[in-house]
């Protein structure tokens, strides 16, 4: 058997293995289907004049999606491009179209679409709703009444549309990864090519992933410190009068749930570099000793990281207006500095928190994924090229 025949035979085996199920197989089709459905919704909004999620009120809402900052025209452009044009681009991807110019252009368009859906068409309000999950759980456990404003926030069309865009953004992110792998002659399932893994290797990923974990824990600890101080009656960064108003309205108690959610998230993030993040601990009855599925850690971290970045960008973009409002209230320079440090400071770190969390989750994935079951690369497995040369040299039969 010649060297080229050996390589071709092994490649064929890998190709047959790629027919196994996995997100790499169905997400490109799901992304195209999502854009077709979204495009039909856009046509309905344009023809009927009803249902368009970016109303004049939402466009001026500081907690609304960032795409609203570009006005109605910008919002409509984003909606249109995420529909039929995106579906046509996805069809080109599925056909395997590539070229020196076409491949980079398609990848750039996919990345842009993913960024628009995840970063511009979701908002800080979605992060706030996620943050109140502990409040909902507590209320259900003790039989307390849930605030109507929270229920309304979860069921209103603006929130549902943001969740729809969040799903679409992650579908297109996965479809982009699949196209990059397929068109770049990498393994469809692990993304590896022949040669050393470099920064994606388990040992390297463990180092930079650990640094990212520690960085990601700064913001939630700082955030929890300020919110717990307010709940306990310490007026960090505010006047006594403002603190008293918050106590009377129950604002600081609500803040405890957000702070607790952040601390729990920080503790779970620490599991990305701890043993109990790989194997369920003994106290988890029914799961003790079993390996933690990689997706159980990576998927929630990816969602939360996007919401944190979106929320942080929204706060930064509205910083000028908030500073002007504080200055107009007649506050002194010391009070303004206190508000910026203790009230806004933790939230201004949200983008750093989100990016560090995403990097930490990526490091966790690279560290734990192990050898690929399809191509055999990774760990101690031989690359296909090396195995082919060894097979030919030893006269083995494949």
CA distance 54 to 122: 12
| Contact of 124 with 311, CB cutoff 8 Å | yes
Q: What 3-state class would DSSP assign to 347?
A: helix
Q: For position 329, what pLDDT does the model report?
A: 65
Contacts (Cβ under 8 Å, ≥6 apart) of 355:
305, 309
> How far separated are the first and last CA of the chain, in Å rounded?
9
CA distance 129 to 106: 34
Q: What 3-state class would DSSP assign to 92?
A: helix
| Contact of 380 with 372, CB cutoff 8 Å | no
> Looking at 107-221, which runs of residues are DSSP E strands?
none
Q: What is the mean pLDDT of each run of 10 residues along the chain (398 residues)?
A: 40 43 90 97 94 81 83 92 96 90 94 96 85 74 76 83 96 96 90 87 93 94 90 81 79 78 86 91 87 92 93 84 70 68 84 95 93 80 44 36
Q: For position 314, what pLDDT does the model report?
A: 86
Q: For position 12, what pLDDT does the model report?
A: 38
Q: For position 4, what pLDDT does the model report?
A: 43
| Contact of 87 with 32, CB cutoff 8 Å | yes
Query: Using one digit for the tens of pLDDT, what is the confidence trace for 22-45?
Result: 899 999 999 999 999 999 999 999
User: What 3 state SS string does 28-89 have?
Assistant: HHHHHHHHHHHHHHHHHHHHHCCCCCCCHHHHCCCCCCHHHHHHHHHHHHHHHHCCHHHHHH
* Beta partners for residue 279, in sequence order: 291
CA distance 355 to 296: 19
Q: For position 266, what pLDDT does the model report?
A: 86
CA distance 270 to 275: 10
| Contact of 205 with 199, CB cutoff 8 Å | yes
> Could you count the other beta carbons within 10 Å of the beta carbon of residue 398?
13
Q: For position 332, what pLDDT does the model report?
A: 63
Q: How many residues would you count in the chain?
A: 398
CA distance 264 to 270: 10
Any idea where the domains of the chain sit in the sequence? Answer: 14-191, 200-368
Our measurement of the distance from residue 274's CA atom to the centroid of its chain's CA atoms, rounded to an integer in Å, reads 22
Q: Two tokens at 56?
A: 């004049």
CA distance 243 to 230: 7
Give 232's Cβ-side CA count (13 Å radius).
Answer: 8
Our measurement of the distance from residue 169's CA atom to the centroid of its chain's CA atoms, rounded to an integer in Å, reads 9
């Amino acid at each position: 058997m010649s060297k080229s025949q050996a390589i071709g035979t092994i490649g064929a085996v890998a190709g047959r293995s790629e027919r196994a199920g996995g997100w790499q197989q169905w997400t490109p089709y799901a992304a195209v289907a999502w854009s077709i459905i979204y495009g039909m919704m856009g046509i309905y909004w344009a023809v009927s004049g009803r249902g368009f999620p970016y109303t004049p009120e939402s466009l001026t809402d500081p907690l609304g999606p960032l795409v609203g900052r570009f006005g109605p025209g910008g919002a409509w452009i984003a909606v249109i491009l995420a529909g039929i044009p995106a579906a046509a681009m996805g069809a080109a991807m599925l056909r395997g179209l590539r070229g020196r110019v076409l491949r980079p252009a398609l990848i750039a368009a996919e990345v842009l679409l993913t960024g628009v859906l995840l970063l511009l068409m979701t908002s800080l309000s979605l992060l706030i709703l996620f943050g109140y999950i502990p409040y909902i759980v507590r209320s259900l456990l003790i039989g307390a009444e849930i605030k109507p404003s929270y229920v309304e926030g979860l069921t209103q069309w603006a929130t549902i549309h943001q969740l729809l865009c969040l799903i679409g953004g992650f579908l297109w992110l996965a479809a982009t990864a699949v196209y990059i792998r397929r068109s770049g002659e990498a393994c469809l399932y692990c993304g590896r090519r022949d040669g050393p893994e470099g920064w994606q290797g388990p040992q390297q990923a463990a180092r930079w992933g650990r640094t990212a974990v520690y960085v990601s824990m700064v913001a939630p600890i700082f955030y929890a410190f300020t919110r717990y101080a307010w709940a306990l009656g310490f007026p960090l960064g505010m006047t006594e009068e403002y603190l008293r108003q918050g106590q009377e309205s129950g604002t600081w108690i609500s803040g405890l749930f957000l702070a607790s959610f952040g601390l729990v998230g920080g503790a779970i993030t620490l599991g990305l570099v701890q043993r109990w993040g790989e194997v369920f601990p003994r106290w988890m009855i029914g799961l003790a000793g079993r390996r933690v599925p990689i997706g159980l850690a990576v998927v929630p971290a990816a969602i939360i990281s996007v919401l944190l970045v979106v929320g942080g960008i929204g706060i930064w973009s509205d910083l000028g207006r908030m500073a002007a409002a504080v200055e107009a209230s007649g506050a002194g320079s010391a009070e303004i500095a206190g508000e910026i440090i203790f009230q806004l400071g933790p939230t201004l770190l949200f983008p750093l928190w989100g990016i560090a969390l995403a990097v930490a989750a990526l490091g966790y994935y690279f560290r734990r994924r192990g050898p690929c079951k399809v191509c055999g690369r990774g760990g101690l497995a031989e690359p296909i090229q090396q195995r082919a040369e060894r097979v030919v040299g030893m006269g083995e039969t494949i």
